[in-house]
Amino acid sequence: MKIKFLAPLFLVVFMIASCKQTNNAEKYAHLPADLAPLFMQIDNDPTNPDLYQQRADYYIKQRNFDSAYYDVSAALRFDSLNPERYIALADLFFMQGLFENSEEVLEKAYSKSPKNINVMMKIAEMQLYYKRYSEMNDFISQSLLIDSRNPQAYYMMGYALKEQGDTLNAIRNFNKAVDQNPSYYEAYIQLGLIYHSRKNPLALDYYNNALNVKPQSIEAHYNIAMFYQETKNVIKAKERYHIILQIDPENAWSHHNLGWIAMNLENDNEKAVEHFTKALNIEPYFFEAAYNRGAAYEKLGEKQLAIDNYNHVLKIEPANEMALQRLFVLGVRK
């Protein structure tokens, strides 16, 4: 006789579970589609630190730091022996500019996990931010004693040396970083910048290596364009700015620089005005574009339009000496 009741009982349990899932779905129906499932998972597994961290990551992308703080703290509470939880909290404080809080959390992580390389590197990163180079080197040295294959360590040492003006040793360390990690985008960019400052074409090789890692990198494309512009290779500079505008049509600096090339290297002031105007349409407070549009109008003999643009510069930056000087020359200011 008991067997007869098994099917109805199973149906009752199934119906209750189904109703619970439906209620949960309705409860979070107002949330974004990629956030609601995390709420439901946390409801079903409320002590899982990874779920809280995943939800925190979502909130961080949305710049909702208060909610992210709640979830990162929850992850730490349920997984207090994991140094990565402290690093996540330190990162959250850092991105909000709460540097002392970030450093305090990292010190606590180090006291609990003094042999953890990730903690050492994060503290070293903090020392680099404060330009405490000696302290940074101490933590990096500790990490390299544990594992000598650490491209981030060499990158950070290279960056610190570059900041201190020792570009020769900076290059050596950046090269060690890319030797250990051939996909180290940031190291290629730094190497490119050093050679760029010397007008050395090797800069282009490093920027192109960076593009091999991130083909859509505006930064790398822009640096290449600037190298060509500064070395008066107008055709290649313009080609590269147009590549940037294909990737990002709203890139105001590319329009500005195309305008600068037109005005200063091609003597095409009408084309220059066109590009400066596009830059200002994208960024109305782009005072460099406003100043240069004024200069282009001045060269075209459009005095009042030049004055209007110089005055626009002063609305954005009232003490701009170049705009004040041009207005003085044009007889507008004494």
Residues 49 and 75 sit within 8 Å (Cβ to Cβ): yes
Per the prediction, the chain carries an average pLDDT of: 93
Say whether pLDDT at 291 is over 70: yes
Mean pLDDT value of segment 297-307: 97
In this predicted structure, the answer to whether residue 248 has a pLDDT above a threshold of 90 is yes
The owner of tokens 């505006």 is 218
Per DSSP (E only), the strands in the chain are: none
Judge whether residue 5 has pLDDT over 60.
no
Boundaries of every domain in the chain: 250-334
> Does this model's pTM top 0.75?
yes
pLDDT, tens digit (0-9, with 9 covering 90-100), for 116-142: 999 999 999 999 999 999 999 999 999
Residue 74's pLDDT band, with cuts at 50, 70 and 90, is very high
Report the pLDDT value the prediction gives residue 4, as an integer from 0 to 100: 47
Contacts of 123 (CB under 8 A, 6+ apart): 106, 107, 110, 139
The topology (CATH level 3) of 250-334 is 1.25.40
DSSP code per residue over 27-38: HTTTS-TTTHHH
Look at residue 330 and tell me whether its pLDDT is greater than 50. Answer: yes
How many Cβ atoms sit within 10 Å of the Cβ of residue 254? 27
**pLDDT given at position 2:** 46
Task: Lowest mean pLDDT of 3-17, 54-68, 296-310, 317-331, name the range.
Answer: 3-17
Single-letter code of the amino acid located at 203? A
**Does pLDDT of 7 surpass 60?**
no
Flag whether pLDDT at 21 surpasses 60: no
* C-alpha 331 chain-centroid distance: 44
- Residue whose entry in the numeric block shows the structure tokens 């900041």: 163
Tokens encoding 94: 């850092």
- Percent of the chain past pLDDT 70, that is, above it, reads 92
Statement: residue 212 has pLDDT above 50? yes
In the chain, the N- to C-terminal Cα span, in Å, equals 108
- 331 token code pair: 């007889």
The C-alpha torsion from 244 through 247 and 249 to 252, rounded to 10°, is: -40
